[in-house]
Amino acid sequence: MNIITKAPWQLKESDVTDEKIYNERRTLMKIAAVAGAGAMMPTALPASSDIPGTTLNFSKNSAYHEASLTDYDKITTYNNFYEFSLAKDGPSKLAHTLEPEDWSIEITGEVEKNITIDVNEMISKFPLEERIYRFRCVEGWSMVVPWVGFELSYLLKKAGLTSKSKFVQFQTKNDPRMFPEQNKKGFLANIPFPYVEGLRIDEAMHPLTLLSVGLYGKTLPKQNGAPIRLVVPWKYGFKSIKSMTHIHVSETLTDSTWNIVNPREYGFYSNVNPEVSHPRWSQAKERPLGAFFKKRTEIFNGYADEVAGMYKNMDLRKNF
Ligand code: MTE
């Protein structure tokens, strides 16, 4: 991961027509939701026909909304996906080798039963929601994304957790045919593959923690981690592992890729914290993709009311 050296984009979200239409429709949905069934309103929100992918059926969770979204083009062309490239514009050009159609997730370890479940089955069984979350990369850029997904806890509950379940490890599919950089081993590889990430069990079961299967109303673009990825909005973006196929529940702390690569710079927790600098740069501010000016970064990325309780007796500098 690098610090951004490029000049920021000048384009405002409101300059992009399809996002404008999308936002207008969201405003209407919000008004309807307030007038109608309360916080949640079931709907099949069609996205702009300009947005590729299959339209998903979901309800809009109006508890999670933001004044403006990062535009679709930026979310899908400024990516970190090292299985394809180190360059931000690499994954959108190279991820065509990913085949997300026939895909399942296996859950093993401290669960009542090991299960393997197909992504299409999850999409049809679990209630999909649109949640607009802030997303803050450890490199200092941020975005606001209308994810579509379901709570990770629904899936973990399906497998059933044992009393020894303390940590959860996630793994990206290991298939060098789909992910060309996985062909590189040892010192030739930029990072060790397959990519792995981890959460404490209470973090994994937290209602904010999503498994995303889409954004902007459509199935996930390949470069954003199709067909299914994690989204943990109060942590730095690298915790949100893409294209996962394996979840392992364990009693002890497990490895996570960036912590293996550089434990001094990337801790296991990696909660967004403006007061704890990265050893090479400050985390006090962030540049929203598409914005000219930086803005102040908030503790836990602005989700402190919901998540700070999980860390109340912890030294956040030590457990960074
Ligand atoms: N997951 C995998 N498998 N491989 C990766 O390289 N990069 C991480 C995270 N998940 C990464 C990954 C990092 S560093 C970030 S910031 C986010 O994905 C970027 O997500 P985005 O490209 O959708 O913005």
Lowest-pLDDT range of 3-17, 19-33, 57-71, 82-96: 3-17
Q: pLDDT tens across 64-118, in order? A: 988 899 999 999 999 999 999 999 999 999 999 999 999 999 999 999 999 999 9
The structural domains of the chain, ordered by start, are 97-311 (3.90.420.10)
What element of type H or E holds 203? Answer: helix 201-204
The verdict on the CB of residue 179 being under 6 Å from ligand 1 is: no
How sure is the predictor about 2, in pLDDT bands with cuts at 50, 70 and 90? low
Lowest-pLDDT range of 66-70, 146-150, 241-245: 66-70
Is the distance from CB of 100 to CB of 227 less than 8 angstroms? yes
Is the distance from CB of 172 to CB of 83 less than 8 angstroms? yes
**SS3 assignment, position 21:** helix
pLDDT of residue 186: 87
Counting ligand 1 atoms within 8 A of each CB, the residue from 133, 172, 238, 239 with the most, and so the one to mutate, is 238
Whole-model pTM?
A: 0.87
79 CA from centroid of ligand 1 (Å): 7
DSSP codes joined into one string, 154-218: HHHHHH-B-TT--EEEEEE---TTTSGGGG--GGGSSS-SS-EEEEEHHHHTSTT-EEEEEETTE
What is the identity of the amino acid at 213? V
* Mean pLDDT of the residues in the chain: 88
29 CA from centroid of ligand 1 (Å): 30
Q: Give me the numbers of helices (H) and strands (E) for the chain, helices first please.
A: 8, 14
The CA distance from 182 to 83, in Å, is 6
Closest ligand 1 atom to Cα of 137: 16
Protein residue closest via CA to atom 22 of ligand 1: 79
pLDDT of residue 291: 95
Is the distance from CB of 290 to CB of 263 less than 8 angstroms? no
Token output for 6: 């490029």
The CA distance from 79 to 237, in Å, is 11
Q: How confident is the model over 152-169, as a mean pLDDT?
A: 98
Token output for 27: 């405003």
How sure is the predictor about 127, in pLDDT bands with cuts at 50, 70 and 90? very high
Q: pLDDT tens across 250-286, in order? A: 999 999 999 999 999 999 999 999 999 999 999 999 9
Is the distance from CB of 220 to CB of 121 less than 8 angstroms? no
As beta bridge partners, residue 217 has none
Has residue 40 got a pLDDT over 60?
Answer: no
Protein residue closest via CA to atom 19 of ligand 1: 80
Closest ligand 1 atom to Cα of 191: 6
Protein residue closest via CA to atom 21 of ligand 1: 79
The verdict on the CB of residue 241 being under 6 Å from ligand 1 is: yes
Has residue 18 got a pLDDT over 60?
Answer: no
With vertex at residue 189, the alpha carbon angle to CA 210 and CA 177, rounded to the nearest 5 degrees, is 70
237 CA from centroid of ligand 1 (Å): 7
Is the distance from CB of 118 to CB of 264 less than 8 angstroms? no
How sure is the predictor about 49, in pLDDT bands with cuts at 50, 70 and 90? confident
Lowest-pLDDT range of 1-10, 16-25, 46-55: 1-10
